[in-house]
Amino acid sequence: MAIITGAPTWTITVAGDIVGFDYTGSDRYAVPRVWAGRGLGITQADLPEFVQALATVPDYESLVPSQDDRAEENEPIWSKPRYDPDEAFVYVTGPCQLPVPLPGYAPTLTFTIKLRHIAALRARLTAYLR
């Protein structure tokens, strides 16, 4: 397991093909929200730092994808980001996971994403910030 420090409020670990994200910020309102297997929410204020943290994750392209991974490559994994002005969160639908699945968007300090999905998430969020 490799630990990567991507930004002051994020600790990232890579173990095999799973990337773990730990939110270490002190603002309880800004805790990320994850709907297991369906989506991710990050505050608008924390989004640039989260994208900076994503940039520290090694590229999956340097690994040899399995046959199952190649079949999924042409499918859009992440939706376009959507800003919720009432909550000041930016949401994307996509394959995030919680340590324990809960219904709906749940605040969480820890979540995971498969390594092969990181580049697409980084691209979506980078484009949103421009």
Residues 89-105: pLDDT tens digits? 999 999 999 988 888 89
Q: What's the rounded Cα separation, in Å, for the pair 10 and 32?
A: 11
DSSP 80: P
State pLDDT tens for residues 44-101: 999 999 999 999 888 765 554 444 544 455 567 899 999 999 999 999 999 999 988 8
How open is the CA angle 13-7-34, to the nearest 5 degrees? Answer: 60
pLDDT, tens only, 102-129? 888 999 999 999 999 999 999 999 999 9
Find, among 62, 21, 41, the residue nearest to 107 by Cα. Answer: 41
Q: Per DSSP, what are the bridge partners of residue 56?
A: none
Task: Report pLDDT for 56.
Answer: 87
Two structure tokens written together for 70:
């190649």
| d(C-alpha 82, C-alpha 93), whole Å | 9
Q: Residue 69's pLDDT is what?
A: 47
Mean of pLDDT over the chain? 86
Q: Answer yes or no: is pLDDT of 6 > 80.
A: no
What residue segments make up the domains of the chain, in order of their start?
2-60+77-129
Q: Is the dihedral of CA 33, 123, 53, 1 positive or negative?
A: positive
